Amino acid sequence: MLSSVRFSSVSLPNRSVPLSSGSKECQTAPLYFASIGTDPIRTPEKATQTESQQFETAEETISIREELVDLIMEELERTEKEEELMDEYERKVAFEEEQKGGGRRVQLRHLSQLELPEMVDDHLVHSSVVLCSVHCGPGNRISLLFGFPQHDIWCSGHLGAQILIVGTRRGQRGRVSTVPLSACPSTAEFARFGELLIVGTHSGELLLFSSESGDLLWSSESSPAMTHSLTVTQLRWAKESDGREQQRELISLSLDGTVRKSRLETDNRLELLQSVNFTLADLPRELRKGTADGGTKLGLIGCGFADEANLLVATETGIILSLDMNGLTLLNTFAIGDSPEGIEQFAVLRPNQSHSVVEWHLPTQIIWRTSADGIIRCCPLRQQKPVPKETEMVPLPHSRENFHICVEHGILLIIGGSERRELIAWEIRRGEKMALPTEREGGDEWKGRTEGVGGRGNTLAVVTAEERGRKRTRTLTLYELALTDDSEVQGK
């Protein structure tokens, strides 16, 4: 039996909470983008203050009067002219007393003459082997270096390269030792009172010979650290406190940019003490030329002492490096000359040295010769700039060793550029050419062409050559340099 079922409806209340939304706002400063460049090289800045209080001033309100600029330029030009006039005045004052006394001149007093041994090989007579330089040392020793005058980079054994070691003192006069070399010699320096001869070559080697026998005692091949990679351009002994050569520490320069200081040991060898290599990166920016690589080596061609502790080293491009002798550290750099070809020869003349017989009133002089035109120039070291063109000396032939400085008398001895290549004396203090009469020959010129000149103290060594058929005869003549009055010369 079915029963009835009643369904009742149930209603549920809607309890959903309505959604509510909210918003918040914030405000930020707008973003600005700017592109700013930076320079890695910091430019130098200098600031000056002429008033006790500085006020901010807009750049557009700063102005410099044109009259002020003209006044500054005129003052600079006037100062430069005054320096030139003061140099001329100092030169005249230094010689005022000498001119009142009638003046002095240099005379060559003949000491001795020696005919050098002939080069018997025919190929040497007509080859390019020439006398490169003459070096005089203590003990009346003279060395003559023969080789090829030009080398590209390396000397690979030119046939005929040799050195002659000549003894001129009593008991040894006329003794000549001939030493053949495998590479052309470039420079030389005597050691140990003339008993030893140190020779630098175009292959970068250093050789030590006995001046008595000509035997090779030591070579830098046994000590690779002493061998340069390019031509050895100069050898120079360090100075004592009184300005004299000590002949213990040797300075060697090379075209490879290296300066080396070595010590001469008692067992006749050189021991390396210090070595410094200079490249283009060591120079200030204003002295670098073009866009050359900073690792480019500086070719060193000569040196001289500004004082006992300061060594001046010249580069091929006319840049002077001032080095401290204690550590070979670079102190200063400056440029000389205005020749784009550079320089080939460099020397320093210190007139107030204790062994000089001439009292100077002028500062230390630097002397150099340009590469292409062969002009010798001279200027005071304190100015660090070349002299004007009107005070240039004389044109010279192209050669590395073609002038000699006599410190005792302040005279520059030059081989002239004429066909006879006569010997010329140039007085550095006056800036004038001098006559060179000889006591023996009464002023007549000696026979032959002058090939080389060297000296030490008051002794001058002159090598002349004469062509006799297929033979070339060379003569070595020694002179004594002496200052005489004009009245004495006229009386003779």
Average pLDDT, the chain: 77
The predicted model gives 122-149 an average pLDDT of 79
The predicted model gives 317-346 an average pLDDT of 84
Judged against a pLDDT cut of 50, whether residue 355 lies above it is answered with no
What is the pLDDT at residue 461?
Answer: 92
Give the integer Cα–Cα distance in Å for 477 and 461: 6
Which range has the worst mean pLDDT, 60-64, 123-127, 196-200, 365-369? 123-127
Give the integer Cα–Cα distance in Å for 400 and 30: 74
Judged against a pLDDT cut of 70, whether residue 315 lies above it is answered with yes
Beta bridge partners of 206: 200
Secondary structure (3-state) at 366? strand
Judged against a pLDDT cut of 80, whether residue 468 lies above it is answered with no
Overall residue count recorded for the chain in this entry: 492
Tens digits of residue pLDDT in 100-121: 444 556 778 888 889 998 764 5
Tens digits of residue pLDDT in 231-289: 999 999 998 766 677 778 999 999 999 999 999 999 999 999 999 999 988 888 877 76
Phi and psi of 11, rounded to 5°? -105, 130
> What residue type is 281 in one-letter code?
A
What is the pLDDT at residue 158?
Answer: 67
What is the pLDDT at residue 141?
Answer: 92
Phi and psi of 35, rounded to 5°? -105, 115
User: Could you write out the DSSP letters of every residue in 358-381?
Assistant: S---S--EEEEEESSS-BEEEEET
Give the integer Cα–Cα distance in Å for 447 and 441: 11
Residue 422 banded pLDDT, cuts 50, 70, 90: confident
Residue 98 banded pLDDT, cuts 50, 70, 90: very low
Tens digits of residue pLDDT in 173-219: 678 999 999 889 999 999 998 999 999 999 999 999 999 999 999 99
Give the integer Cα–Cα distance in Å for 432 and 452: 22
Give the integer Cα–Cα distance in Å for 216 and 165: 13
Q: What is the CB neighbour count within 10 angstroms for residue 413? A: 22
- Token pair of 454 as six digits: 């060297």
Residue 236's alpha-carbon distances to 170, 187, 199, 491, in angstroms, are 28, 10, 11, 42
Q: Domain 128-237+247-282+296-335 in CATH: superfamily?
A: YVTN repeat-like/Quinoprotein amine dehydrogenase (2.130.10.10)
Judged against a pLDDT cut of 90, whether residue 5 lies above it is answered with no
- Decide which of 201 and 429 is more confident: 201
Residue 469 banded pLDDT, cuts 50, 70, 90: confident
- Token pair of 14 as six digits: 């809607």
Can you give the pTM of this predicted structure? Answer: 0.73
- Give the distance from CA 135 to its chain's centroid: 19
Judged against a pLDDT cut of 50, whether residue 301 lies above it is answered with yes
Closest C-alpha to 307, from 355, 353, 263: 353
pLDDT above 90 covers a percentage of the chain that reads: 25
- Token pair of 129 as six digits: 């082997």
The predicted model gives 288-314 an average pLDDT of 82
The predicted model gives 148-169 an average pLDDT of 77
